[in-house]
């Protein structure tokens, strides 16, 4: 008890040197007049960040992910908007016409009048100010998700909001471009909110890229809602610069009969970590999570996956592969939760698979198989 | 004589009463759609018809071509010409799709006093059906539903239905988890199997499958009873307006 008090005191004392404190104090006045729910989300995020800060080395979730690249990086929010980063990124990517971005950002700030305007794609900033929108950021990823998610909530300002109404099949992929860097040790707070309506179908490609050989830190949160019978394909392409740090969290909520096909491709970043969490909330959900990473030099490629079978009669397939050269490292941590549901009786059971490096995991769960395991 | 006649059917799973008096009459050649919200009893009705033993029938009767269906085991029902396309088709590792179908078909033929088909005749029949349903032959060589995508599983169910040529087919949420292309394929497959003699019951949570399989009648199951029957327009209205108006309608009728 006494020890706990001492720890709390230490934490309180530390708040004077909280990372990003100066940035946050400068950023906050710009957010005056934001909706109350957003202010609360931000406050919760900042309070958690103040209290917890960076994940500790003895935190099980971060044991194999050294984050000194971030903690010693002295990152701060860029004060000016650098269009050059966006232009250079587009030139480097050489995207075909069909894959030109529908919406683009530099260090998390919207590039105005860029890209081909697409239906259902909005800037998160304008989307958040419309009180009639039923889906809001923070529903799946909030301050309790983890330190970096809390930091992302604290600095939540703009991003991509892709909201597909019920019964709509979008044929063209929707491309979101996040270009980063362009100023000394930039901190980029990136956010996507995607909602696929009942029996709708959509493909979203998120591209993360940035200046090569330049130090910056991208902190990403993507929240995805797929309603009943919805079909969603997500391609997440990490092409960050080789000196950058990239921390990402993608959380997907899947309702009855929905289908998720998620492909996570990681080529960039000195430190690249991606956590994907899929919540299978209704019966008949089909969830496929694939990943590939290609590392060289001293890159660290880290993938954490969580698939939560919260309802019976769902299936999930997972396949991760990696190729590493030089002194590159790979980390893979996969968790699958299978909850037993038999008639009115519900038991909880957890099955965990821990794998490392180049890994092949393929799982399929049906309730009858689960029953056999008890 | 009706193909299937359900009178005052009540059934429960465990101690929970799910079906509270279902009446439904299906004549040969008709396609009936049964719609309803989650937990309304749609799947229970399908499972009771197929003879799944997790459900206890507490009252009422089901006559299938004049015979008491409830007295028959699931195998007897199948051999008598009842077919069920499952909501969640089961995987059978190690069982080849062709052998599985051949055994099932010959069991039905034996029941009807016909000779078992030999391998040559069977393959001829199967290829014909594959052609009609526009399904690739590789399906035959695979293990039953193992590694199949959602769409492939549902198409395989329809393929089984085509080969077994049942008198009455019950499709339990065959549209769930399908993308538009797979939905179209399944819908057109079922439509090709409408021959004016076969009865088909389409149980569905969504209206969209009915864009591809035009039903003769639509029934709405609510709280274990069929509360309203109509034509396809009823399904369209449910999709557009939801079920709330129907709940009010039921209350008004009950009050009168």
Q: What is the pLDDT of residues B15-32, one digit of tens each?
A: 899 999 999 999 999 999
Question: Is the CB of A255 inside 8 Å of chain B's CB atoms?
Answer: no
CB-CB under 8 Å, B176 with A313: no
What pLDDT is recorded for position A318? Answer: 86
3-state class of B246 per DSSP?
helix
B204 vs chain A: nearest CA distance in angstroms?
Answer: 12
Q: How far apart (Å, rounded) are the C-alpha atoms in residues B133 and B151? A: 14
Nearest C-alpha of chain A: how many angstroms from B206?
9
B contact residues 155-214, partner A, Cβ 8 Å cutoff: 173, 176-177, 179-180, 205-206, 208
A344 touches chain B (CB under 8 A): yes
Characterize the bridge pairing of strands A174-180 and A103-106.
parallel
A window 200-239, beta carbon within 8 A of B: 201, 228-229, 231
| Neighbouring C-alpha atoms within 13 Å toward the C-beta of B250 | 15
Going from the C-alpha of A158 to that of each of A102, A335, B253, the distances in angstroms are 15, 31, 52
pLDDT surpassing 70 at residue B156: yes
**What is the spatial distance between Cα A291 and Cα A262, in angstroms, rounded to a whole number?**
8
**DSSP 3-state of A303:** strand
What tokens appear for A80 in the block? Answer: 């000016």
Q: What DSSP letter does each residue of A41-110 carry, written as one string? A: HHHHHHHHHHHH-SPPTT-GGGTT---HHHHTS--B--SS--HHHHHHHHHHH---GGG--SEEEETTEE
Contact between residue B3 and residue B168 where contact means Cβ atoms under 8 Å apart? yes
Q: How confident is the model at residue A115 (pLDDT cuts 50, 70, 90)?
A: low
Q: Is the pLDDT of residue B182 over 60?
A: yes
Per the prediction, chain B carries an average pLDDT of: 90
Write down the pLDDT at residue A118: 77
B10 bridge partner residues: B20, B59
Q: Which two tokens stand for residue B253?
A: 């009728």
Sheet containing B55-64, strands listed edge to edge, beginning at the edge strand earlier in sequence:
B16-26, B4-13, B55-64, B67-68
Comparing CA positions, the residue from B43, B128, B137, B26 lying closest to residue B86 is B43
Rounded to the nearest angstrom, the minimum Cα separation between B1 and chain A is 37
Of B204, B200, B197, residue with least CA distance to B234: B204
Residue A184 has pLDDT above 90, yes or no: no
Taking only residues 122 to 141 of chain B, the set having a beta carbon closer than 8 angstroms to any beta carbon of chain A reads: none
Q: How far apart are CA B135 and CA B157, in angstroms?
A: 12
In tens, the pLDDT along B60-89 reads 999 999 999 999 999 999 999 999 998 888
- Tell whether B60 lies on the interface with A, counting CB pairs under 8 A: no
pLDDT score for B251: 78
Angle between helices B97-111 and B119-133 (to 10 degrees): 110
HSE-CB of B41 using CA atoms within 13 angstroms = 25
**Mean pLDDT over residues A180-203, rounded?**
94
* C-beta atoms of A199 and B206 within 8 A: yes
Flag if A284 and B176 touch (Cβ within 8 Å): yes
Mean pLDDT of A233-253: 97
Give bridge partners of residue A261 from the DSSP assignment: A233, A288
- Number of helices (H), then strands (E), in chain A: 8, 17
SS3 B70: helix
| CB contact (8 A) between residue B177 and residue A257 | yes
CB-based contact A153:A49 (threshold 8 Å): no
Nearest to A70 by CA among A185, A182, A156: A185
Measured between CA atoms, how close is B58 to chain A, in angstroms? 18
* B contacts of A257 (beta carbons < 8 Å): 176-177, 205
* Residue corresponding to tokens 């397939």: A317
**Which residues of chain B lie closer than 8 angstroms to A288, CB-CB?**
none
Contacting residues of A for B207, CB less than 8 Å apart: none
Contacts of B56 (CB under 8 A, 6+ apart): B11, B12, B13
pLDDT digits (tens, 9 = 90+) for A309-346: 888 888 888 888 888 888 888 888 888 887 765 332 23
Give me the phi and psi of B130, to 5 degrees please: -60, -40
Q: Residues A153, A158, A160, A163: what is their CA dihedral angle, to the nearest 10 degrees? A: 80
**In percent, how much of chain A has pLDDT > 90?**
58
pLDDT at A345: 27
Q: Where along chain A do its domains lie?
A: 33-370
Write the CA distances from A91 to A64, A84, A86, A96, A208, integer angstroms. 35, 10, 9, 11, 14
CB contact under 8 A, A366 and B38: no
Which residues on adjacent β-strands are paired with residue A312? none
Is B177 in contact with A286 (Cβ distance < 8 A)? Answer: yes
- The confidence band for A8, taking pLDDT boundaries of 50, 70 and 90, is very low
Residue A60 CB contacts under 8 Å (≥ 6 apart), including other chains: none
Q: What is the rounded average pLDDT of the residues B171-182?
A: 86
| Largest distance between two CA atoms of chain A | 64
| DSSP-assigned letters across all residues of B74-92 | HHHHHHTTEEEE-SSPPPE
Provide the pLDDT for residue B254. 72
The pLDDT tens digits of the residues spanning B207-222 come to 888 889 999 999 999 9
Average pLDDT rounded to a whole number, residues B187-214: 90
DSSP of A316-355, one letter per residue? EEEEEEEEE-TT-EEEEEEEEEEEEEETTEEEEEEEEE--
Mutate to test the interface with A, among B177, B187, B239 (most CBs of A within 10 A): B177
What is the rounded average pLDDT for all residues in chain A? 84
- Rounded Cα distance, B239 and A278, in Å: 28
Q: Quick check: A196 and A174 in contact, CB under 8 A?
A: no
Handedness of CA A265, A227, A220, A131 (dihedral sign): positive
CB contact under 8 A, B176 and A344: no
pLDDT value at B3 more than 90:
yes
**pLDDT per residue as tens digits for the range A260-301:** 999 999 999 999 999 999 999 998 888 999 999 888 888 999
Is the pLDDT reported for residue A225 higher than 90?
yes
Q: Tell me the H-state helices in chain B.
A: 42-50, 74-79, 97-111, 119-133, 138-141, 150-164, 180-192, 232-241, 244-255
Cα distances (angstroms) measured from residue A194 to each of A34, A49, A152, B100: 21, 25, 17, 43
| Strand, helix or coil for residue B155 | helix
Does position A370 have pLDDT exceeding 80, yes or no? Answer: no
Q: Which of A51-60, A309-318, B104-113 has the lowest mean pLDDT?
A: A309-318
B32 forms beta bridges with: B201, B217
């Amino acid at each position: 008890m006494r020890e706990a008090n001492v720890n709390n005191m230490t934490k309180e004392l530390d708040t004077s040197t909280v990372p990003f404190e100066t940035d946050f104090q400068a950023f906050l006045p710009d957010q005056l007049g934001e909706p109350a729910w957003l202010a609360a989300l931000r406050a919760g995020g900042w309070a958690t960040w103040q209290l917890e800060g960076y994940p500790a080395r003895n935190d099980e979730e971060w044991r194999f992910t050294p984050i000194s690249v971030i903690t010693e990086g002295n990152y701060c929010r860029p004060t000016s908007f650098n269009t050059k980063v966006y232009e250079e990124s587009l030139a480097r990517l050489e995207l075909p016409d069909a894959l030109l971005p529908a919406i683009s950002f530099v260090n998390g700030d919207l590039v105005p009048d860029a890209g081909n305007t697409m239906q259902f794609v909005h800037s998160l900033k304008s989307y958040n100010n419309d009180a009639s929108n039923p889906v809001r950021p923070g529903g799946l990823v909030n301050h309790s998700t983890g330190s970096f998610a809390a930091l992302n909530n604290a600095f939540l300002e703009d991003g991509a909001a892709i909201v597909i109404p019920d019964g709509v099949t979008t044929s063209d992929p929707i491309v979101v471009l996040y270009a980063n860097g362009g100023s000394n040790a930039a901190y980029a707070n990136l956010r996507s909110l995607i909602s696929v309506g009942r029996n709708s179908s959509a493909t979203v490609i998120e591209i993360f890229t940035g200046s090569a050989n330049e130090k910056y830190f991208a902190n990403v949160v993507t929240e995805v809602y797929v309603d009943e019978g919805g079909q969603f394909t997500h391609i997440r392409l990490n092409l960050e610069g080789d000196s950058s740090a990239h921390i990402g969290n993608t959380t997907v909520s899947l309702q009855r009969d929905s289908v998720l096909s998620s492909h996570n491709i990681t080529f960039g970043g000195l430190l690249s970590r991606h956590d994907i969490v899929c919540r299978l909330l209704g019966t008949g959900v089909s969830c496929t999570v694939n990943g590939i990473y290609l590392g060289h030099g001293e890159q660290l490629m880290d993938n954490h996956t969580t698939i939560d079978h919260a309802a019976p009669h769902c299936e999930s397939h997972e396949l991760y592969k990696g190729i590493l050269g030089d002194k590159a490292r790979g980390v893979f941590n996969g968790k699958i939760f299978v909850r037993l549901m038999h008639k009115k009786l519900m038991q909880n059971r957890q099955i965990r698979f821990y794998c490392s490096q180049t890994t092949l995991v393929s799982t399929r769960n049906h309730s009858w198989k689960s029953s056999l395991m008890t | 004589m009706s193909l299937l006649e359900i009178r005052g059917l009540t059934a429960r799973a465990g101690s929970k009463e799910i079906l509270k008096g279902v009446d439904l009459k299906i004549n040969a050649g008709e396609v009936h759609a049964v719609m309803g919200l989650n937990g309304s009893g749609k799947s229970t009705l399908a499972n009771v018809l197929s003879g799944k033993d997790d459900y206890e029938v507490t009252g009422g009767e089901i006559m299938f071509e004049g015979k008491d269906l409830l007295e028959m085991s699931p195998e007897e029902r199948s051999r008598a010409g009842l077919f069920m396309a499952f909501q969640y088709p089961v995987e059978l590792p190690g069982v080849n799709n062709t052998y599985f179908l051949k055994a099932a078909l010959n069991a039905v033929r034996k029941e009807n006093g016909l000779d078992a088909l030999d391998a040559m005749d069977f393959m001829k029949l199967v290829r014909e059906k594959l052609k009609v349903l526009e399904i690739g032959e590789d399906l035959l060589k695979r293990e039953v539903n193992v590694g199949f995508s959602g769409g492939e599983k549902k198409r395989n169910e329809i393929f089984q239905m085509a080969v077994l040529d049942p008198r009455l087919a019950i499709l339990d949420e065959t549209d769930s988890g399908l993308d538009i292309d797979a939905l179209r394929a399944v819908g057109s497959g079922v439509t090709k199997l409408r021959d004016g003699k076969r009865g088909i019951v389409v149980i569905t949570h969504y209206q969209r499958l009915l864009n591809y399989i035009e039903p003769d009648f639509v029934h709405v199951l609510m709280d274990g009873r069929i509360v309203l029957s109509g034509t396809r327009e009823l399904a369209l209205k449910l999709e557009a307006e939801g079920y709330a108006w129907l709940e009010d309608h039921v209350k008004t009728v009950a009050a009168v």
